[in-house]
A and B are shown apart, each in its own frame.
Chain A
Amino acid sequence: EVQLVVSGGGAVQPGGSLRLSCAASGIKVSDYWMHWVRQVPGKGLVWVSRLNSERSTIQYADSVKGRFTISRDDAKNTVYLEMNSLRVEDTAVYYCTCNRFSSGWGFDYWGQGTLVTVSS
């Protein structure tokens, strides 16, 4: 059974930092493109960032570029999202998800999400 377990969310003040973790079991994160997607409570899904399987390219949404960093630790089979200079508008549930070419780039598996609240 595939599981993506997301952790690291919480409350932080504007300008602060958080690091989210996505620990995978049942798959190797190095075989997939790993993504972070966020959702403001009651609103829609928004793609945030992705790291390809070769770790050769990284992409970010314009809204987080320069502030968020995605990375991967193959030994721990875990993906991270380092979030700096957090803003009130970054408040959301953050999901870890993954896809690959053989599944037509659909997001096959999802973590349970972790709530990040940025507030003074």
Chain B
Amino acid sequence: QSALTQPASVSGSPGQSITISCTGTSSDVGSYNLLSWYQQYPGKAPKLLIYEVTKRPSGVSNRFSGSKSDNTASLTISGLQTEDEADYYCCSYAPSTVIWGFGGGTKVTVL
């Protein structure tokens, strides 16, 4: 059982915006801004998209943005492109437990 809850799949048409949710608890997502998002293509290693809820590493497209409300974080992909078809994972770090927990992953399909 994953520590964080994500929808199994989300789809959208090219150019649209989609949002992936990531629900945790008041002990992890709700208490700390240590939430990150990863993109993974089949057979490849994950890639960091967002860290500290809203920050993008250099080189990551500004079409990816993050937010958080209470115990739920969200990843929004705007101007959806075919290359965005991949699996997306959220990850939360809780300093109180020093444990990292991943969401179950969301498969994004571009229609």
Contacts and interface: CB of A to CB of B under 8 A. Distances in A.
22 contacts: A44-B2, A45-B91, A45-B105, A47-B99, A47-B101, A47-B102, A50-B100, A57-B98, A61-B99, A103-B51, A104-B34, A104-B36, A104-B51, A105-B34, A105-B93, A106-B36, A106-B50, A106-B51, A107-B46, A110-B45, A110-B46, A112-B45
Contacts of A45: 38, 40, 46, 89, 91, 102, 105
Contact of A104 (B38, B52, B98, B100): B52
Interface string B22-47: 00000000000110101010000111
A45 B89 CA distance: 8
Q: Binding site of B, secondary structure by majority: helix, strand, loop or mixed?
A: strand
Interface residues of B, number: 26
Contacts of B100: 35, 47, 50
B104 A107 contact: no
Contacts of A95: 45-46
A108 B57 CA distance: 9
Interface residues of A, number: 22
B68 interface: no
A46 B103 CA distance: 9
Given A44-B105, A47-B100, A106 B48 contact: yes
Interface in A47-93: 47, 50, 57, 59, 61
B57 A107 contact: no
A105 B51 contact: yes
A6 B101 CA distance: 22
B102 A44 contact: yes
A37 B101 CA distance: 10
The winner among B2, B36, B45, B93 for most chain A CB atoms within 10 A is: B45
B25 to A, nearest CB: 17
Contacts of B104: 44
Given A45-B38, A104-B36, 18 more contacts: A45-B102, A46-B102, A47-B100, A47-B101, A59-B98, A61-B99, A97-B46, A103-B57, A104-B33, A104-B52, A105-B34, A105-B52, A105-B93, A106-B48, A107-B91, A110-B46, A111-B45, A112-B45
